[in-house]
A and B are shown apart, each in its own frame.
Chain A
């Protein structure tokens, strides 16, 4: 249901709900007299527009747990974020991805691919994604980053690595295409509210800048058409 304030659309809230995490992006509009519409202009004048680097998203993804089989032994280690171990040669243990990659590069472990990183499962997910119009549940909230990290560093431990890479890319492409379509219709139909389920942080991050900036520009255009109504009031939600 569109939220209408003072007879004009002044702000939009874009929600996305995905598996564990939830992020909301908002923009703050401030009216400025000159109706210049370049992207960068909008960005410069919105100091509070949040941008997130893909490498930051990857950093967050490295906190996910993955199973490894170490070839050394070590007692339990107590880190600030939690306890890990103990490590015994040949016995599988769950560790965060950052530690798994470090150990793999030092040839101290073998990485076991996550359950969802399997050709048949990914094929099913891809078919489902292509059939549905909405977004289908993802195998993991960080599926894209994990695929990239694990296949770059541990492709010798993952069977059929090339096919998995292709399948994950297909799933990503389908979802991004849907996202683009949805953003396009959102902007052109001047909706005020949209709800998209099952998006991952990486996908949101991909559209974040463009979507928010373009909505901002649209708002400026519209507010400049009605010179009397919103004189330089900054509204934020």
Chain B
């Protein structure tokens, strides 16, 4: 059931208990976790933190901890499946779920005792009413004494309606309000919200935007909500006479450029490696490089300055940089090079934009060092979000730079060597094992970013109008020893994408029909749904890959 008063029904319940926190592996969940940890530290609540990466992990973690804990808090996992059936918990286990995955499973919505959803109900959920779905059970009982002829037609009619309603409801999968923002609201209700928590909530929201999980409209609306909180915090402590110490954290609204990590890199590198600019200029071709030079010349920026570290650029250039770039980019067809976001500033040296921190944390979370387990990287990524661990954040930024460069190079090579094949109903690309940096793409978030950039680049580079409307399926080797391949599918590129699109049980059917050994482990997929999905990630045995794809082609065409 949905929780109406988050303070009474959630916080006051767990504050005197021992709680297990099961946190999914994405940046939004990490930020939500930080906020919850800070609240728990204030009230000295005992908790155990367990990172989970998929459904199997969730099951194992639950089995390990179910003896000791009655209260479980799940962040960014568990809302879109029938949790009770999957985990088979005892009668007295209570689950608090704060998840962005939609649609919320109807069984979770209508369970009154064990499942409490920390989700705002006005999030346009469209949950079908109880009567529509569960009525057929009562009707069947009451039909004992009914007419025989009527008995035949009524239950089937109702069941069809029930199926239809459920099908409509679960048709599209998408993401709702950020978990970090939900928990920030909890902190606000408790009057314990600090600037640190506000910053984490902003990072959670920005993560949803960077990884393309929410629509632009929703992003802008949520930014406005955060902006209200930011103004409230900024007015709280500052007077004209008594200004704050320089070490205090200051969050400010920025209408900043869409160039990834540009303040920690050189402007030139950032333009070359940001998806938006690189695809618009087509920087993998010679023509594109020339256009870039023209663009820089048009703005009057000397090459020497532009290739320097951003912090060392001439102050006179830095002052009007954003306006100058915006003007020139309008001429080159890049209408929205500026995006609304927030920046933080503490001490004399440290300025970060929210997207910088998202990229750094994602790079740390998915770093592919040899002797690092999933929980090591999780803890490192969690650490980099605190203000006291700046070296880790800088390390993350360096890793993120390498990751972005790798993505751009892979995209460039795929386009130039025509690795993207049009397989009828979709586009397909497979990264061979020897490709440089292919290890980076064995992780879901990195692979997803690569997919999106690749599709955008392809759409810009191809002249075939039909191909521009096709979705993309990408496969990359996941684990060389186990011989598995990770496959991701994303919907076609469209101007007004509502991020609610399809991929069909085609994947599942193809897997079944070819008896491929697949593992639908990632939280963004649900294996037993009739639903259509906007992002689908599965693991597959390498040998089964070609069979699977052939089956998929036949199914979708």
Contacts and interface: CB of A to CB of B under 8 A. Distances in A.
A162 B191 contact: no
Given A71-B191, A107-B194, A156 B245 contact: yes
A155 B248 contact: yes
A156 B42 contact: no
Contacts of B244: 155-156, 161
Contact of B41 (A106, A158, A160, A161): A106
Contacts of A125: none
Contacts of A159: 239, 241-242
Nearest to A160: B242
A67 interface: no
A156 B248 contact: yes
Contacts of B43: 106
A89 B407 CA distance: 55
A71 B43 CA distance: 14
B192 A107 contact: yes
B68 interface: no
A71 B192 CA distance: 11
A106 B194 CA distance: 11
Contacts of B44: 106
Contacts of A155: 244-245, 247-248
A71 B44 CA distance: 17
Interface residues of A, number: 12
A108 interface: yes
A160 B243 contact: yes
B286 interface: no
Given A106-B42, A107-B42, A156-B237, A161 B191 contact: no
B246 interface: yes
A151 interface: yes
B246 A162 contact: yes
Contact of B42 (A108, A160, A162): A108
Interface string B169-196: 0000000000000000000000110100
Interface in B211-247: 237, 239, 241-247
Contacts of A71: 191
A155 B248 CA distance: 8
Query: Dominant SS at the B interface?
Result: loop
Nearest to A152: B247
B242 to A, nearest CB: 3
B245 A161 contact: yes
Interface in B238-290: 239, 241-248
A160 B194 CA distance: 20
A159 B237 CA distance: 9
Nearest to A162: B245
Nearest to B44: A106
Best-buried of A71, A155, A156 by chain B (most CB within 10 Å): A156
Contacts of B41: 106
Contacts of B192: 107
Interface in A156-173: 156, 158-162
Contacts of B237: 156
Nearest to B42: A106
A134 to B, nearest CB: 33
Interface string A33-45: 0000000000000
A73 B244 CA distance: 29
Nearest to A103: B42
Contacts of B246: 162
Interface string B8-49: 000000000000000000000000000000000111100000
Nearest to A158: B245
A108 B194 CA distance: 12
Contacts of A151: 245
Nearest to B243: A160
Contacts of A160: 242-243
Contacts of B194: 107
A152 to B, nearest CB: 9
B202 to A, nearest CB: 19
A154 to B, nearest CB: 10
A71 B243 CA distance: 24
A162 B41 CA distance: 28
A151 B41 CA distance: 22
A31 B493 CA distance: 90
Contacts of A156: 237, 244-245, 248
Contacts of A162: 245-246
Contacts of A107: 42, 192, 194
A162 B246 CA distance: 7
Contacts of B42: 106-108
A54 to B, nearest CB: 22
B340 to A, nearest CB: 27
A151 B246 CA distance: 12
A45 B39 CA distance: 53
Interface string B43-85: 1100000000000000000000000000000000000000000
Interface string A97-117: 000000000111000000000
Interface in A124-161: 151, 155-156, 158-161
A71 B246 CA distance: 26
A90 to B, nearest CB: 13
A181 B433 CA distance: 72
Best-buried of B44, B241, B247, B248 by chain A (most CB within 10 Å): B247
Contacts of B248: 155-156
Contacts of B242: 159-160
A162 B44 CA distance: 32
Nearest to A165: B245
Given A106-B43, A106-B44, A155-B244, 19 more contacts: A71-B191, A107-B42, A107-B192, A107-B194, A108-B42, A151-B245, A155-B245, A155-B248, A156-B237, A156-B244, A156-B245, A156-B248, A158-B245, A159-B241, A160-B242, A160-B243, A161-B244, A161-B245, A162-B245
Interface of A: 71, 106-108, 151, 155-156, 158-162
The 6 closest A-B pairs by CB, nearest first: A159-B242, A161-B245, A155-B245, A106-B42, A107-B192, A162-B245
16 contacts: A106-B41, A106-B42, A106-B44, A107-B42, A107-B192, A107-B194, A108-B42, A151-B245, A156-B244, A159-B241, A159-B242, A160-B242, A160-B243, A161-B244, A162-B245, A162-B246
